[in-house]
Amino acid sequence: MKKTVMLFVVLSVIGLISYACDTGSSTPTLGASVCTKSISGIGSTSAAKLYYPCTISGTVGATSMSSGYTGTLSAIEWMSQRVAAAGYVVLAFTPSNTYGMVSLWRDAHKNCISKLKSLNTSDANVKGKINTSKLSTCGHSKGGGGSLWASSQLTNQLKTTVGLAPYEEGFADSALRTITAATFIEAGSGDTLATNSMTRGEYSGLSTSISRKYVEYTGYSHMAWANASGSAADKMAGDVIAWMKYYLDGDTSQKSAIADQSGTSRFEWVDKSGGSSSSSSSSSSTSSTSSSGCN
């Protein structure tokens, strides 16, 4: 009888641990277990989910996260899991209308940044654990366009901004010149929706006074970022994490990862933190240049 009761207790504890810590369908490779929690009451969203390291020592940076047109937060969960496993708090969302305009994702990103600040004072799981001076936005497609647009309005509230094949609609490239955060744009050389002319135009629209990076991954289509897995997910998420660690946390050991041009047909990086800058582009062949100092 005693053995039966003890077995029940052990199984119950294991069940509770499994419920609290969700490592997702793909195993994060960069850190501790990831815990999740549904979050409600965020304007312009129909669903939101918090991803965070199950154990947080001190305070950590945080980012909003979204998929794009017709997508839900589950389509970008692979990125949310990896970023959280790397030591960050992630608030992923589904917009209130997945067929809406980019302005809806913009508003949702802004509301998620506000919510992260609120959770830092009210949620038992992350209270006092979010460094609100280290905030970012990140999204794919219309969510990526919304990430950039939100950053242009949030300005100095953010330290980094990421657009994953960001789709432009309703805002001009010139509007992005007000972004003050270090901005990273990932694009696909085979993208026929957020075309290279669109994403390069967004990059060109950024202020020349901020750190910024633009890559085109060779052969990637627009939907490469939806439910990504395997080595492609590792590469795309790894580049985002390196960007966040370098510009959110000042981790200079990430410089070589940010400078890695493997798998890209176009690469540009301008570092205003005092590091190096490099660029490359190719049609039939690839050339690259690099220089030290700020550009």
Rounded CA separation 294/208 (Å): 11
Domain 2-292: homologous superfamily in CATH: Alpha/Beta hydrolase fold, catalytic domain (3.40.50.1820)
Of 2-6, 7-11, 86-90, 205-209, the poorest mean pLDDT is in 7-11
pTM for this prediction? 0.85
Helical ranges in 157-268 per DSSP H: 196-204, 230-247, 255-258
pLDDT digits (tens, 9 = 90+) for 110-152: 999 999 999 999 999 999 999 999 999 999 999 999 999 999 9
Where do the structural domains in the chain lie, given as residue ranges? Answer: 2-292
pLDDT number for residue 9? 31
286 vs 125, which has greater pLDDT? 125
Q: 197 falls in which pLDDT band (50, 70, 90)?
A: very high
The owner of tokens 């990125």 is: 79
Q: With beta carbons less than 8 A apart as the criterion, state whether 224 and 239 touch.
A: no
Q: With beta carbons less than 8 A apart as the criterion, state whether 130 and 62 touch.
A: yes
Nearest by Cα to 179 from 162, 194, 196, 197: 162
pLDDT digits (tens, 9 = 90+) for 66-98: 999 999 999 999 999 999 999 999 999 999 999
Angle at which helices 230-247 and 77-85 cross, to 10°: 50
